[in-house]
A and B are shown apart, each in its own frame.
Chain A
Amino acid sequence: MGKYAAWVATPLVLALLVLIWQFYVVVFEVSPFILPPPLAVWHATVELLSDPKTYSHIAITVYETVAGFLIAVVIGIVFGGLLGKIRWLERTLNPLIVGLQVMPKVALIPLFIVWFGFGPTSKVVLAAVISFFPIMTNTILGMKSVEPGHRDVMLALNASRWQTFKEVELQNALPFIMTGMEVGIVLATIGAIVGEYLGGSQGLGYMAVATLNAFDVTSMFGVIFLLTILGLVLYFFVVMLRRFVTPWHEAVTSSRD
């Protein structure tokens, strides 16, 4: 396969899927309340985008996702750094962390609504909580996976704990942190939207529920389409960030070659 094969093949596969969708709807006479045809969804999406209210809903969802994600990045790296560096602290808190990690965070939404209200704040908190764990655990993993040879070099250079942290452990953790962030941004998006589903009157998640309640399934598909685009944009933003943060890393150069 050529270098640019994916640029041709991927759109072709996508076009094929849309054709199958259209074919299925027409041949089996599927009700538009169950599955609207692709062209109708496209028109509904265009209509949504011509309504200024849609943009304020998008802005709310973006705000909740990004704010929650950034909080998770800061707290995740700080906690991960501390736990990765201080052995006894990690050993003490580990059972607690595992417990919190396996808890389905979505179940906390009613609680967050009680604590933080129906507004965007409760969604920001949920997005932060849900995306915090992969970032923190990856930071710890990255700090601990420093090669023994690299530790020997710092030891032979008589480096202080702080110097070893700054020059080696943190740098070693960066590719791991980026991986945690890639998972985290997807989870933050899910957190914000699920939060909107369950409470409040703003955001794309709310729009999806509202269109469904109005039996406007075609518009709901349009909202889902917008959500997908939003998720993709945010994800690729984080992926691009990797190139700036770890230009030396194989994952960056191998995808460039």
Chain B
Amino acid sequence: MTPAKAEMNAAPEHQPADLSVSTGQDAMIRLTGVEQRYKTKDHDVLALTDVNLNIGKGEFLVLLGPSGCGKTTLLRIIAGLLQSTSGTVEIDNKPLWNKKTRNDAAMDELGVVFQEANMFPWMTIEDNIALPLKLRGVPKAERRARAAELCKMVGIEGFEKRWPRQLSGGMRQRAAIARALSTKPQILLMDEPFGALDAMTRDAMNLELQRIWMESGCTIVLVTHSIREAVFLADRILLLSPRPGRMDTITDIEIERPRDTYVQSTQGFQDYELSLRQRLDSFA
């Protein structure tokens, strides 16, 4: 909406993928030679290969790509839900895996939000949000206080005592974000978190997410197949190409923050969108 923002945006330029090592030593997440193979009856399928990536402290990185590019697989590898068949993952300079077991110290830095809110229906919203704290043995009063604080932060104040199914999809997803943030992790990993929401709710959630990210100062890795969402949220977009999934290009999004909904109609924003769209179309 403001002309200043439109002027600021120069034409976006793609960088070759091997410039990924941009943040060097203070990388929050370091991926080295990550590769994922799935065994099927007759042959191995290579789902993801040659991922070398450093994600900086406080960065908002978006993984973008067509279906089958392994973006969800990559996120699950970073989340410790899946051990990659080769390569290493380091979280805040700590290896995520010690042989076949997860490293607790590295796992503690992670919060994960899925496409579905995955609220436990037998817990109130408050208990759902505070579950990670309960698992760590935090006393009840303290959990209550933290849940109330988080509900306020994600904008679902007053719904603490409700059952999850009494909330709308958007509100449940807010609760899921609150749950992921409850232990104050340094990293928030999000797998198409707003994919199941309607377009209007989605726009609102993107704005909220930007605010929460700026308030909490955490590092976010978000998977999406929406170019618009990617450009709106990201500091950097990593575009993945399919079959097998590999790093294609990295795009720096130089639009100043906080970004509002109207920024999407500026020339600069649309230039980013167009060039990403063209690159995506070239895969087909």
Chain A contacts to B: CB under 8 angstroms: 147, 149-150, 152-153, 155-159, 163, 167-168, 171-172, 174, 246, 248-250
Contacts and interface: CB of A to CB of B under 8 A. Distances in A.
B112 A156 contact: yes
A156 B110 contact: yes
Given A168-B120, A171-B122, A153 B163 contact: no
A159 B122 CA distance: 18
A248 B121 contact: yes
B222 to A, nearest CB: 15
Nearest to A156: B112
Contacts of B107: 158
B104 interface: yes
Contacts, number: 50
Interface in B134-172: 134-135, 163, 165
B102 interface: yes
Nearest to B132: A157
Contacts of A171: 120, 122
Contact of B163 (A150, A159, A248): A248
B118 A157 contact: no
Contact of B131 (A157, A174, A250): A157
A246 to B, nearest CB: 7
B79 A248 contact: no
Contacts of A248: 121-123, 163, 165
Given A171-B120, A174-B122, A156 B104 contact: no
B271 interface: no
B116 A149 contact: yes
B81 interface: yes
Given A158-B102, A159-B135, A248-B163, A147 B81 contact: no
Interface in B192-218: none
A150 B176 CA distance: 12
A152 B121 contact: no
Contacts of B122: 171-172, 174, 246, 248-249
Contacts of B134: 167
B81 A156 contact: yes
12 contacts: A156-B80, A158-B80, A158-B135, A159-B135, A163-B135, A171-B120, A171-B122, A172-B122, A174-B122, A248-B123, A248-B165, A249-B121
Contacts of B131: 157, 167
